[in-house]
Structure 1
Amino acid sequence: MKKSFWMAGVAMAGLVALGAQPAAAETLEEVLAIAYATNPTLLARRAQLRATDEEVPQALSKWRPTVTFTDEYGRGKYESNSYTGSSAQGREQGRTSDDKTLTVTQYLYRGGKTVAGTRQAEANVLAGRADLQSKEQTILLNAATAFLDVVRDESVLKLNINNEQVLRRQLEAAQERFRVGEITRTDVSQAEARLSGAVAERAAAEGAVQNSRAKFITLIGRSPESPQAPKAPAAVPASFDEIKATALAKNPLVIYSDWTAQSAKEGIDLARGDLLPSVTLNGELSRKLSTSSQGSELETAEATVKLSVPLYEGGQYYSALRESKHTYGRRKIEADQARRDALESATKGWEDLQSTRARISSIEAQIRASELALAGVEEEAKVGSRTVLDVLDAEQELFLARVNLVKAQRDQMVSAFTLKSALGEMTATGLALNVETYDPRKNFDDVRYQWIGSGINEKYED
C-alpha cells in the first residue's frame, strides 16, 4: 500500500499543473504565431479585403475625366453614269476616309452619386477590416483551444497510465495477501475489476489524444510538438462593467455591423441620385480626312455641357430607392442585434471564467482532502479496519479529482481566451505575439489614389 500511495503522489506532483514537459516544449504563443502567419482561411480573408480596397479607387475615378481616342479608317469605290442622248458614259472613283477623334468627358454633377459612392466604398473597406479581425480572432481562438485540448488530453492520458500502473500493483499486492490468507478472493476480484476499468479508461484517453491531435493538425498544418500549457490564463479586465463597455466599443462584429449599416445608408443617396439631373462637360477634337478626286480635310474643336434630367424610367429607380431604405433599416436592426450578441458573449465569457476559477479552487481542496483520506485508509487497511475496496475507492476519488483539475485548468484558459475574443483582443496585437502583424492600411494607402497601373504587390501574386 505504501508503494501505491507513493506512485500516486509522484503522479500528482508531475501532472497537476497540466503535465511535466521536456526542455524543448512548444508554447502556445509559438503555435498562435504559426496560425496567424500561415492559416489558409486567414490568408484568403486578407486577400478578400485587398480586393475590397479597390472599391475606393473605383469610386474616386468618378471624380476624374475619361479620355477616349478613336480612329476610323475606310476605303470605298464608287461608280457614276451620265447619259447624253442615246449614249451613256460611266465613271469609277475611289475614296479613302480617315477620321480621328479625341474626346474628354468630365462629370460636373451626378446627382450626389459620386460623393455617396466614395463614402460607401470607404465604409465597405472599414467593414471588411472588422470582418478580417473577427476571422483572425476565430482562427486564433480555435488554434488556442486545439492546443489546450492536446495538452489536456495528453495530461489525462498520463494520469490514466499512472492509474493503471497503480491498480496493477494494487492487484499484485492483493494477490500476494490472498495467498497468505490476509484477504479473501472477493478482495482480489475487486482489484481485478478496478484494473480492467482503468485499462478501458486509458484506451479511451488514447483515442481522445488522437482526436485532439488531428484537430490541431487541421488548424496548424502539422502535428503538435510536446505542447506546454501556459503558466496562467490570459489577462482580462477585472471589472465586469469594464468588460461590457469594452465589448460594445471593440467587438469586431459590432464594428462590422455599424459600418455595414453606414454603407447601406450611403446606398440610399446612390439610389436617389438616379432620379436627379446630371451635368457632363465634354470636349472633342476631331480631324476628318477624305480623299477622292478632290481631297478634303476638316478639323473641329468643340466643348459642350450636357444636362440630363430623368423624367420617367418605368418606376425602376423609385423601386430601387425604396429597396435601399429597407436595406438600411435591416442593417440598423442587425447592428442592434450585434450589440446584444456582444454583451451576451462578454457576459457568458465572464461568468464561465469566474465559475472555472471557483471550480479549480474546490478541486484543489478536494485533492488535498483526498490525499489525506487515502493515506489514512491505507494505514487503517494495514491493521484490518479497512478493506481493499476502501483503498481502491480512495485511490479512485483522488485520481478523478486530478483528472477534473486538468480539465478545469484547460476550461479556465479557454474561457479567458473566449472572453478576450468578445472584447476584440484575441488578435496578434492583443496577445502580443512575436510575429510580423498584417497591416490592412498599407495596401489601402497604396491603391487609394492610384490613377493608372494594373500591377499588384509581388508578394500577393501566386
Structure 2
Amino acid sequence: MTPSHLPRPGAGKTSLRAALRTAGLLSGTAFCLAATFVAPATAQTLQEALAQTYANNPTLATARAQLRVVDENVPQALAGWRPSVSITGSAGYAVANARQRANLANGQRIGVTSDQERGIGSVAATVSQPLYRGGRTVATTRRAENQVLAQRARLLATEQQVLQDTVTAYVNVIRFQEEVRLNLNNAQVLQRQLDATNERFRVGEITRTDVAQAESRLAGARASRADAEGQLQNSRATFLRTIGVAPTRLTAPQPLTPAARNNQDAAQVAALNNPAVVAALFDEAAGRDAIDIQLSTLLPQASLQAQAFRNDNQTVAGTRGIGESVTATLTVPIYQGGAEYSAVRQARQDASRLRQVVDDQRRAASAQASTAWETLGSARATVESVRAQIRAAEIALDGVQREAVVGSRTTLDVLNAEQELLNARVSLVRALANVVTASHSLAQAVGRLTARDLALPVALYDQEAYYRAVRDRWAGLGDYSVPQAVRQ
C-alpha cells in the first residue's frame, strides 16, 4: 500500500500571488500588496510548515505511539510457542505430637507420647512446553499481524489529516491577511470619498442623503475589516496549534497537480488506496482470525511438563526426597458449558460486520474523492469567472466615476460599483484559497497526501522499526522505540 509519488506542491500553474497580480490586486494606489509577498530569507513556505508539523505535531506523535502499542501484540502472540519456566519454593516449621501403645514385659500395655519438631522445606523447578493449542497460537499471531497492518494504515490516515489541517491553517492565514488588507484599503478609499462628499455637500453640489450613504458605507467597511481581523487572529491561533510555531512571513502556495485524471479515476484509486479502506481490509482479516482463535477452545490441547524437586522433612524429621518427572498431558474438551460455542458464533458475526465496514469505507472513500474532484473543478472555474468579474467591475467603476463627475450618476452608484469590485476581489482570494485546499483534499482522498508523496524535507518515520525490534524478543523491559528513524 505504498502510495505513488506526487510532484512537489510547486508544480501547479497558478499561485495565489500570481492570480492576485493578474486580477489587479497587487497593483494600483489602492491595493499595494506586492511587498507583502516578497519571500525574504526568513519566509515560511508551505513545505516548511508541513515538515514542521510532521516532525512535531502531538496528534501524529500519539498515533505513532499507538502503532508501537499494537506492535506488541505480535510478540505476545508468539509467546504461545515458547516454554514457561518457574521455580517454586517453600519453607516452614512443624510440631507434631505422636502417641502409641507399647507392651511391657509383664504383659501390660501403656501409652507412649512423643513430641516431634522439624523444619520443612521444598523446592521445585518446572518447565512447561505447549505442543498443540488447537491452532490458537497460529491464529493469534495472524490476527496480531493484521492488527499491526491496520494500525499502520490508520497512522497514514492520521498523517494525512494532520497535513491537510496544516494546509488549511496555512492557507487561511494568507486568505484572511488578504481580506484584512482589502478591507483596510477599502475603508481608506471610502474615507477619502466621504471627505470629498462632505466638501461637495458644503458647496451645495449634493444633498445630505449622499453624505449619509457614504458614511453608512464607510461604517460597513470598518465592520468588515474588524470581522476579517478577528478571523485572522483565529487562523493564527489554529496555525500555532497545528504547526507548533507562529506564522511570520508566509509565501503563497501553489495547488498540487491533480492526483487523478478524472472523477472516475479518483474514485477508483480512493477505493483501493485510501488508508481508511486499507485499515478496514486488515480489520476484516483480523476478524476472520478471531474465529479460529475461538474454535481452538473446542480442539484438543497437548503440553509437556518437566519438573525437578526436593522435599525436606515433609512427614518425618530427617527425611529428604529428591526426584525428577516428565509428564505429557493431552486434554480433549467434551463440553464446557456452551460459552465457547457462543464465542465462535459471536466472532463469525463480528467478521460479517467487518466485511460490511470494508464496503462502507470503500463507498465513503470514493464519495470523498469524487467530492474533492468536483470541488477542485468548481474552485478553478470560480477563479476564472471571478477574474472576468473583476475586469468588468474595474471598467464599470471607472465609467461610473466619470459619469458621476458630469452628474449623470449619483454617489450611491459609485459606492455600489466600488462595493461590487471589492466583493469580487474578496471572492477571488477565497476561490484561490479553495483551489489550494481542494487540490490537497483530493490527494488526501486517494491516499497520497503523505510526507513521502509530498517529498517533505524531513526524516520519514519508520513504521517497521519498533516492530522489528520487538517481534522476536524473548525478554527485555527497555524502550525500543525510535522516535524519528529514517526509512530506507
Q: Which amino acid aligns with 1:68?
A: S
CA distance in 2, matches of 1:147, 1:58: 43
Q: Contact conserved, 2:301 with 2:331, CA < 8 A, in 1?
A: yes
Shift of 1:294: 6.5
1:195-344 equivalent positions in 2, closer than 5 A? 195-233=218-256, 235-290=258-313, 295-344=318-367
CA distance in 2, matches of 1:341, 1:444: 30
Q: Contact conserved, 1:233 with 1:412, CA < 8 A, in 2?
A: no
Partner SS for 1:227: coil
Q: Which amino acid aligns with 1:359?
A: T
Cα distance, 1:350–1:12 mapped onto 2, change above 3 Å: farther
Q: Which amino acid aligns with 1:157?
A: V
Gaps of 5+ in 1: none
| Residue 103 of structure 2 corresponds to residue 103 of structure 1 | no
Shift of 1:363: 0.4
Q: Percent identity?
A: 43
Q: Which amino acid aligns with 1:9?
A: G
Partner of 2:66: 48
CA distance in 2, matches of 1:158, 1:22: 18
Q: Contact conserved, 1:66 with 1:104, CA < 8 A, in 2?
A: yes
Query: Which stretch of structure 1 is more off in the superposition, 121-130 or 24-33?
Result: 24-33
Partner SS for 2:28: helix
- TM (norm. structure 1) is 0.92
1:34-433 equivalent positions in 2, closer than 5 A? 34-84=52-102, 85=108, 87-233=110-256, 235-290=258-313, 295-433=318-456
CA distance in 1, matches of 2:417, 2:304: 92
Q: Which amino acid aligns with 2:60?
A: L
| Residue 32 of structure 2 corresponds to residue 9 of structure 1 | no
Partner SS for 1:281: strand
Partner SS for 1:285: strand
Query: Which stretch of structure 1 is more off in the superposition, 63-72 or 357-366?
Result: 63-72
- TM (norm. structure 2) is 0.87
Shift of 1:104: 1.4
Shift of 1:22: 5.8
Q: Which amino acid aligns with 1:149?
A: N
Shift of 1:213: 2.1
| Residue 37 of structure 2 corresponds to residue 20 of structure 1 | yes
Q: Contact conserved, 2:44 with 2:251, CA < 8 A, in 1?
A: yes
Query: Which stretch of structure 1 is more off in the superposition, 43-52 or 388-397?
Result: 388-397
CA distance in 1, matches of 2:117, 2:223: 101
Q: Contact conserved, 1:56 with 1:448, CA < 8 A, in 2?
A: yes
CA distance in 2, matches of 1:294, 1:184: 125
CA distance in 2, matches of 1:234, 1:45: 28
Q: Contact conserved, 2:71 with 2:148, CA < 8 A, in 1?
A: yes
Partner SS for 1:300: strand
Q: Which amino acid aligns with 2:385?
A: S
Shift of 1:99: 2.3
Deviations along 1:176-235, whole A, 9 cap, x unmatched?
Answer: 233344433333332222212111211111222122223323323443223332034465
Partner SS for 1:381: helix
CA distance in 2, matches of 1:454, 1:272: 33
Q: Contact conserved, 2:187 with 2:218, CA < 8 A, in 1?
A: yes
Q: Contact conserved, 1:7 with 1:166, CA < 8 A, in 2?
A: no
CA RMSD of aligned residues (A): 2.4
Partner SS for 1:34: helix
Deviations along 1:7-48, whole A, 9 cap, x unmatched?
Answer: 983445637x9x635623322222222222222222122111
Cα distance, 1:163–1:22 mapped onto 2, change above 3 Å: farther
Q: Which amino acid aligns with 2:123?
A: K
Partner SS for 1:215: helix
Shift of 1:108: 1.2
Shift of 1:292: 8.6
Deviations along 1:237-274, whole A, 9 cap, x unmatched?
Answer: 33334322321221010011111111110000001110
Q: Contact conserved, 1:356 with 1:411, CA < 8 A, in 2?
A: yes
Query: Which stretch of structure 1 is more off in the superposition, 253-262 or 94-103?
Result: 94-103
CA distance in 1, matches of 2:417, 2:314: 113
Q: Contact conserved, 1:141 with 1:417, CA < 8 A, in 2?
A: yes
CA distance in 2, matches of 1:449, 1:40: 29
Correspondent of 2:479 among 444, 456, 462: 456
Cα distance, 1:12–1:350 mapped onto 2, change above 3 Å: farther
Q: Which has the higher helix share?
A: 1
Q: Contact conserved, 1:8 with 1:166, CA < 8 A, in 2?
A: no
Shift of 1:100: 2.3
Deviations along 1:89-130, whole A, 9 cap, x unmatched?
Answer: 432233233322221111111111111000000011111111
Q: Which amino acid aligns with 2:95?
A: K
Q: Contact conserved, 2:68 with 2:466, CA < 8 A, in 1?
A: yes
Partner SS for 2:152: helix
Q: Contact conserved, 2:303 with 2:330, CA < 8 A, in 1?
A: yes
Partner of 1:437: 460
CA distance in 1, matches of 2:317, 2:204: 136
Q: Contact conserved, 2:180 with 2:229, CA < 8 A, in 1?
A: yes
Cα distance, 1:293–1:365 mapped onto 2, change above 3 Å: closer
Q: Contact conserved, 2:264 with 2:370, CA < 8 A, in 1?
A: no
Q: Which amino acid aligns with 1:20?
A: F
Shift of 1:304: 2.1
Q: State how many pairs are aligned.
A: 454
Q: Contact conserved, 2:88 with 2:123, CA < 8 A, in 1?
A: yes
Q: Contact conserved, 2:101 with 2:110, CA < 8 A, in 1?
A: yes
Shift of 1:384: 3.0
Q: Contact conserved, 2:57 with 2:242, CA < 8 A, in 1?
A: yes
Cα distance, 1:232–1:6 mapped onto 2, change above 3 Å: closer
Cα distance, 1:88–1:301 mapped onto 2, change above 3 Å: closer
